Amino acid sequence: MTNPISAIAAIGQLGEAAPAAAASSAAVPSTSGADFAKVLGNGIDAVQSSQSNADQLAVQAATGQLTDPATYTIAATQAQLMTQLMTTIESKSVDAFNQIMGMQA
Partner 1 sequence: MFNAIDTAGTGIHVYQTWIDALGNNIANVNDIAPTSDAAFQATFVQAQALPTGPDGVGGGVVITGLPQSDAQGIVTYDKDSPVADAQGYVRRPDIDLSSQMTNLIMAQRAYQANATVIDRATDVYKAGLAINKGA
Q: How far is 66 from 69, CA to CA, in rounded Å?
A: 6
Alpha-helix residue ranges (DSSP H) falling in 20-68: 33-62
25 or 88: CB nearest partner 1: 88
Span interacting with partner 1, options 22-30, 31-39, 56-64, 74-82, rule CB under 8 A: 74-82
Quote the least distance from Cβ 32 to partner 1, whole Å: 26
Q: Where does this chain touch partner 1 (CB under 8 A) — which range of 18-26, 33-41, 52-60, 73-81?
A: 73-81
How many of the chain's residues bind partner 1 (CB under 8 A)?
A: 14
Main-chain dihedrals φ then ψ at residue 66, nearest 5 degrees: -90, 115
Residue 100 touching partner 1 (CB under 8 A): no
Contact 66, 57 (CB under 8 A): yes
Q: Does 78 bind partner 1 (CB under 8 A)?
A: yes
